[in-house]
């Protein structure tokens, strides 16, 4: 039996459709949800991400505030901008696009965001609420993955989950979200001894290490659910042929564009060995933005006194 493809676009559309009546209810109360996005400098990848986030906001009727200070901005100047957004009643959620230029103290900036406007779920207070399993904004990519698993009726309770990657944005919050769903969780990273053996123990394997097709067939237990968080652009034709020699559409895309996107898991191994998996693209990516919208709407409801924390 072929593996189930976990379609992130489909689940993202479901989440957005569920948000529309909530947004309409807020508008009826006289409040349009507002999301402020701060993009420092001109990082091309960040510009694409921000453009997609702004488009999603506009499509849903969420008011979008964009700020694009130059890459030369100081920590103090950026802190001043954050404070102005904290005090602006039209802004329900604040997102500071990472990475920031090297002269900026990123920790200071994250700490400066009002926790009740933390649309990304990165503030230490909200991270602490995640650890304590208390309601609060959750980091968007892990929260989206959890929605993807639940809405596809994939059992989590009692399963062994292995998370490869320990970043504050994906790896750590993913581990706690799975733990809060009563999975047994192992976190792996670059210093893990015999990583393939650890991964083969996983009923649910989440790959978030940022290395193209690093997770091969040898890492995947037959029948495991594989969630591939990676987005890596490959330009070497030999590597592309190795990864996508079986996929004429991807080879044609490479011939046209000179590059192709691949996740952290070997795509053929993932499709052939797993029981369910997320494609790249079209898996985890769309859910990150959907959960950002969900966080913003929930924060707006709290600010209007019409929602519960979380």
Instruction: Tell me: do 216 and 274 sit in the same domain.
Output: yes
Active-site residue, 168 included: no
Give the pairing of strands 34-38 and 93-96.
parallel
Q: How many CA atoms does the CB half-sphere of 293 hold within 13 Å?
A: 29
What is the model's pLDDT at position 164? 98
Q: 81, 83, 122: which is closest to 99 by C-alpha?
A: 122
Active-site residue, 117 included: no
Can you give the pTM of this predicted structure? 0.94
Span 71-90, pLDDT tens digits: 999 999 999 999 999 999 99
214 pLDDT above the threshold of 80: yes
Instruction: Tell me: do 145 and 98 sit in the same domain.
Output: no
What is the model's pLDDT at position 45? 75
What is the model's pLDDT at position 306? 64
Q: How many CA atoms does the CB half-sphere of 225 hold within 13 Å?
A: 20
Span 152-199, pLDDT tens digits: 999 999 999 999 999 999 999 999 999 999 999 999 999 999 999 999
Span 220-231, pLDDT tens digits: 999 999 999 999
Residue 43 forms part of a structural domain = yes
What is the model's pLDDT at position 42? 82
Q: Which residues constitute the domain of residue 108?
A: 31-115
Q: What is the mean pLDDT of residues 198-203?
A: 98
Span 138-151, pLDDT tens digits: 999 999 999 999 99
Confidence bin at 307 (pLDDT 50/70/90) = low
**What is the chain's mean pLDDT, rounded?**
95
What is the model's pLDDT at position 310? 44
How many domains does the chain divide into?
A: 2
Q: 143, 146, 85: which is closest to 116 by C-alpha?
A: 85
Residue 8 forms part of a structural domain = no
**269 SS3 class:** helix
Instruction: Tell me: do 186 and 257 sit in the same domain.
Output: yes
For residue 245, count other CB atoms closer than 10 A to its CB: 11
Active-site residue, 97 included: yes
305 compared with 178, residue with greater pLDDT: 178
196 compared with 305, residue with greater pLDDT: 196
What is the model's pLDDT at position 1? 67
Residue 4 forms part of a structural domain = no
Residue 18 forms part of a structural domain = no
* Per annotation, catalytic residue among 118, 120, 264, 266: 120
* Per annotation, catalytic residue among 53, 117, 172, 221: 53
Phi, then psi, of 31 in degrees rounded to 5: -130, 120
The CATH number for 61's domain is 3.40.50.10860
Residue 280 forms part of a structural domain = yes
The CATH number for 168's domain is 3.40.50.720
Residue 295 forms part of a structural domain = no
309 pLDDT above the threshold of 50: no
Q: 54, 85, 116: which is closest to 292 by C-alpha?
A: 54
* Length of the chain counted residue by residue: 310
Tell me the percentage of the chain whose pLDDT exceeds 70: 98
Confidence bin at 99 (pLDDT 50/70/90) = confident
* Per annotation, catalytic residue among 97, 117, 118, 228: 97
Instruction: Tell me: do 227 and 279 sit in the same domain.
Output: yes
């Amino acid at each position: 039996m072929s593996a189930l493809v976990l379609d992130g676009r489909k689940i993202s559309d479901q989440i957005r459709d569920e948000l529309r009546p909530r947004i309409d209810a807020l508008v009826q109360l006289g409040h349009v949800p507002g999301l402020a996005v701060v993009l420092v400098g001109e990082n091309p990848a960040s510009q694409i991400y921000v453009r997609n986030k702004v488009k999603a906001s506009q499509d849903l009727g969420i008011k979008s505030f964009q700020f694009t200070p130059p890459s030369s901005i100081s920590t103090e100047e950026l802190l001043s901008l954050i404070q102005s957004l904290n005090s602006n009643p039209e802004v329900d959620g604040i997102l500071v696009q990472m990475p920031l230029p090297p002269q900026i103290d990123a920790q200071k900036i994250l700490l400066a965001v009002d926790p009740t406007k933390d649309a990304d779920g990165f503030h230490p207070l909200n991270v602490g609420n995640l650890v304590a399993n208390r309601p609060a904004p959750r980091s968007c990519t892990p929260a989206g993955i959890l929605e993807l698993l639940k809405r596809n009726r994939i059992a989590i309770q009692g399963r062994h989950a292995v998370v490869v990657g320990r970043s504050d944005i994906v790896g750590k919050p993913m581990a706690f979200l799975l733990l809060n769903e009563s999975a047994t969780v192992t976190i792996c990273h670059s210093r893990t001894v015999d990583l393939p053996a650890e991964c083969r123990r996983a009923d649910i394997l989440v790959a978030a290490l940022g290395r193209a097709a690093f997770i091969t067939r040898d890492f995947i237990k037959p029948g495991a659910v594989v969630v591939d968080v990676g987005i890596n652009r490959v330009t070497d034709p030999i590597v592309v042929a190795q990864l996508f020699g079986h996929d004429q559409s991807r080879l044609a895309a490479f011939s046209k564009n000179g590059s192709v996107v691949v996740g952290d898991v070997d795509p053929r191994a993932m499709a052939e060995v797993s029981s369910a998996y997320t494609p790249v693209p079209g898996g985890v990516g769309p859910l990150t933005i959907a959960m950002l919208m969900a966080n913003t709407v929930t924060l707006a409801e709290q600010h209007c006194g019409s929602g519960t924390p979380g």
